[in-house]
Structure 1
Amino acid sequence: MELEVRLFGGLWERAGGQRRLTVTVPDDATVADLRAQLAADHPRLAPLLARVNVAVDLEVASDSQLLEGATEVAVLPPVAGGAGHDDGHPRVVTGLVAPPFDVDTVLADITSPPVGAAVSFLGTVRDHAPDLDGVVRLDYSAYPEMAEKVLADIAGELVAEHPDVRGLALLHATGELAVGDHTILVAACAAHRAAAFDACRDGLERVKDRVPIWKREVTTDGEHRWVGLTPPPD
């Protein structure tokens, strides 16, 4: 059978600029078989394929999962980020956004009369990385459909695990971001500060670990690199 496979982050660059590949695999192929076929068809991808995730129909799949019947397949590098009602349920805002963030509006959207504390984390593009000076821009790209779903899933987990939280925002920017631009906004509201701090930190770590968003660091000399996608040494 033939599968259309979407590539994200720096992977499409290594596939000759192709963001979608057609891959032929046996009818009973698994995700592991797809990895092997991609390596054979595209040798420049081969050194990286052991470290990427494969998403099948917007869910990260195990290598043993069968591909028969899949409607959407994507290969994802390692990740580098609706309002509620006044009915007792937490107010939740999630999504991918174009900067700048309107922080005051977001906090107003997730705040309600029982809230006594609001904690927020606002990520900002800096002019360097731990091992790289002269950064002038970060380019963020995403697998939009899956990213939106994962953000909503994380919000549901946080609401269940932090029952004192009355409001939650998980927002991540995409596109070209200059030094000083905001990259991510995570905010939590609760009656008391401890619950808000805990939920905000927990939410930030989950977004950074799980949402299929990647960043490319661009330097003053025009060079760039994809964070988390440095090939292993020979």
Structure 2
Amino acid sequence: MNLGTTFPLSAPIQPHAGDSFAITFAPLSLEEVYALADDPGNGAVVVMSGMVRNKTDGKPVVALEYQAYEPMALRVFEQIAAEIRKTWPDVNRVVIHHRTGRLQIGEISVLVAVGCPHRSEAFEACRYAIDTLKHQAPIWKKEHWEDGSSSWVSIGACEQNC
């Protein structure tokens, strides 16, 4: 898995019929994303939920604000799903939903779900999806600190555990 490779944006992608991709201001729903990833052929659905935590590098955070270049981000989500199917052809469903706007501590910022006949492939594909999203998608977050200061960072600029 090479996360340093950028996707060519010129080639059109035909999304898989069961996949779902979204950038939204609305709160994300674990139940909705799970249902979208569910399929009778699945033996596993793996869901990764990214949440706003109260500290970054030991510094108290009060909120995060997300912005995205939506058309390109959705295209990247589609490309991630296409790459998943090349590596794990048995995957039935890929769901990637990311939230934008100001989020409070504990709110879900991103949900990634993969439905597949086998759990090992579902886990691997889900991890690939979130890791690749963080490096490729044009999504930025602004960390609002307890002291009143704030700073913007690309989610791709975060360390692996952001």
Give TM-score, length-normalised by structure 2: 0.81
Matches within 5 A, 1:3-14: none
Instruction: Give the aligned partner of residue 139 of structure 2.
Output: 213
**C-alpha deviations, 1:62-88, integer Å up to 9, x for none?**
xxxxxxxxxxxxxxxxxxxx883xxxx
1:203 counterpart = 2:149: no
SS across alignment from 1:196: helix
**C-alpha deviations, 1:102-130, integer Å up to 9, x for none?**
21122112211111111110000001101
Instruction: Give the aligned partner of residue 117 of structure 1.
Output: 44
Instruction: Give the aligned partner of residue 143 of structure 1.
Output: 69
CA shift for structure 1 position 184:
0.8
Q: Which runs of 5+ in 2 are unaligned?
A: 1-7, 158-162
Aligned-partner Cα distance in 1 for 2:49–2:20: 15
Aligned-partner Cα distance in 2 for 1:206–1:153: 10
Instruction: Give the aligned partner of residue 112 of structure 2.
Output: 186
SS across alignment from 1:147: helix
Aligned-partner Cα distance in 2 for 1:111–1:182: 20
**C-alpha deviations, 1:155-181, integer Å up to 9, x for none?**
122122211111111111111011011
Instruction: Give the aligned partner of residue 28 of structure 2.
Output: 101
**Contact 2:53-2:106 within 8 A present in 1 as well:** yes
Q: Give the AA of the match of 2:23.
A: L
SS across alignment from 2:147: coil
**C-alpha deviations, 1:88-113, integer Å up to 9, x for none?**
xxx21112122421211221122111
Aligned-partner Cα distance in 1 for 2:83–2:36: 20
Aligned-partner Cα distance in 2 for 1:218–1:83: 37
Alignment match of 2:93 (pick from 167, 181, 204): 167
CA shift for structure 1 position 59:
4.2
Aligned-partner Cα distance in 2 for 1:224–1:181: 18
Percent identity between the two aligned chains? 35
Aligned-partner Cα distance in 2 for 1:99–1:160: 31
SS across alignment from 1:227: strand
**C-alpha deviations, 1:134-167, integer Å up to 9, x for none?**
2001011111111111111211221222111111
Instruction: Give the aligned partner of residue 223 of structure 1.
Output: 149
Matches within 5 A, 1:67-82: none
Give TM-score, length-normalised by structure 1: 0.57
Instruction: Give the aligned partner of residue 80 of structure 2.
Output: 154
Q: Which structure carries more relative contact order (alpha carbon 8 Å, separation 6+)?
A: 2
Q: Which runs of 5+ in 1 are unaligned?
A: 1-57, 61-81, 85-90, 230-234
Q: Give the AA of the match of 2:55.
A: H
CA shift for structure 1 position 225:
1.0
**Contact 1:83-1:109 within 8 A present in 2 as well:** no
